[in-house]
Structure 1
């Protein structure tokens, strides 16, 4: 919805009255419209005759851009929000951290796009490598594909999940035992509420190799065999 400056000023003043104080950036649902109209959230507060929320230092846009560029030079890549201590000053001034990166001529670490009311995150190679390495550290072993929610992004970025592991310096888990393969099938069956098909199991090729066929593995797991299967 498009707002006029007067409408935005009225919204800020009403919210301030309801709160008994100056509203903070995250408390205003129209914050992006305010930034677009007034140049920054604090400018909008001033236009509404409200005291600006105190921050450690009042930075100019040029100073904030310089902070981002210095961080990029030091890191060798665009900085992430958590790596910049002036994050809130940047967000308040530009409306969002990614917007500030764009103004500074940088690409965000990952972009968010919405398709049919579904949010899709586009990760960089560095982001995906970090996801894999973090998972390995938490699990104490190489993560399996089904344990990584970004497995599709990893496969698309590197060509396959296995190549993603290699890029992250993580060795693929060596031969799974029969007990582990059976556990994988049974765990998937509990989650799905039915016998898993090959497409449901990232390790299905290992199951075929170990048991001679996918259905032989299903039987070994004590599960009913699907009527149709790629491997019998």
Structure 2
């Protein structure tokens, strides 16, 4: 027989009518025309077609940019529907701001996969590549800690040692792939593979480097790769 679920005292004290009114408020829906009117009014106040960032910062606009996107599919589609000309030029600083905002939402450094997942509100990867030369350069300019050159291999070995401690053995490529699903900030297993510049057995060489790091940290690694 299941035990009755205890209700937190704070929940028991909620006024149901007040809660219903609150829910109705946060679930308020705008018509397409109301959203378009907000866009036109914001453009008039700014004196130009607003970017998502400008619209979000406009105190006269009472709608979040994401609501606009949910109604029209993309930000530029909404502006076209409002009779506004989408801004073809995005400044370098605006691109950096987009990366910083995305990183703040994710709580980590954005990846190319994150850009794809948020393409409705982010500049295209090709534009970022064209402007900065690479995503890595753009992220570093935006203030993110992105390793380059020898730093990338050092970071991979460091992460490999952490993963080995979790697994209690040296990580295989499949282990790394699984770990990246939980920690998207990790380099892909193939990126790590290519970091080890050897003709044969790059992953075994990487495991050797991880083993050497663990040994230096006082961890016993058996010949089969398992940890004591």
TM-score (norm 1): 0.42
TM-score (norm 2): 0.42
Q: Which has the higher strand share?
A: 1
